[in-house]
């Protein structure tokens, strides 16, 4: 199913805002599945062909905008999450 959806994904170069919003949404889905940053980067690269640098950049911006959430995520909700990533 994802391969069919892949044909309709926004292009980073043609529609950067839409692409970044899509990556943000996919990261949020990873968080709902209690995935670590590394697991999320790997999953988005494998299943959505998103370059790891893009995922990491969006992840870091989300961390800046949502410090309290990521603090709670790393220390309480997902104990195996690396504290150094906060």
DSSP string, 4-39: HHHTTPPPTTT-HHHHHHHHHHHHHHHHHTT--HHH
Token pair in block for residue 48: 């959505």
Nearest to 56 by CA among 75, 18, 30: 30
In total, how many domains does the chain have?
A: 1
The residue written with tokens 């292009």 in the block is 11
CA distance 56 to 62: 10
pTM of the model: 0.76
pLDDT (tens place) for every residue of the chain, 86 residues total: 344 444 567 888 888 999 999 999 999 999 999 898 999 999 999 999 999 999 999 999 999 999 999 888 887 655 555 544 54
What is the domain extent for residue 70? Answer: 2-85
Residue 10, CB-side half-sphere exposure with 13 Å CA sphere = 14
């Amino acid at each position: 199913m994802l391969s069919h959806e892949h044909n309709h994904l926004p292009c980073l170069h043609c529609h950067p805002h839409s692409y970044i919003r899509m990556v943000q949404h996919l990261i949020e889905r990873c968080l709902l599945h209690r995935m670590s940053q590394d697991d999320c980067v790997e999953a988005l690269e494998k299943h959505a062909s998103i370059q790891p640098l893009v995922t990491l950049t969006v992840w870091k911006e989300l961390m800046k905008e949502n410090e309290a959430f990521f603090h709670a995520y790393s220390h309480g909700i997902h104990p195996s999450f690396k504290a150094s990533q906060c």
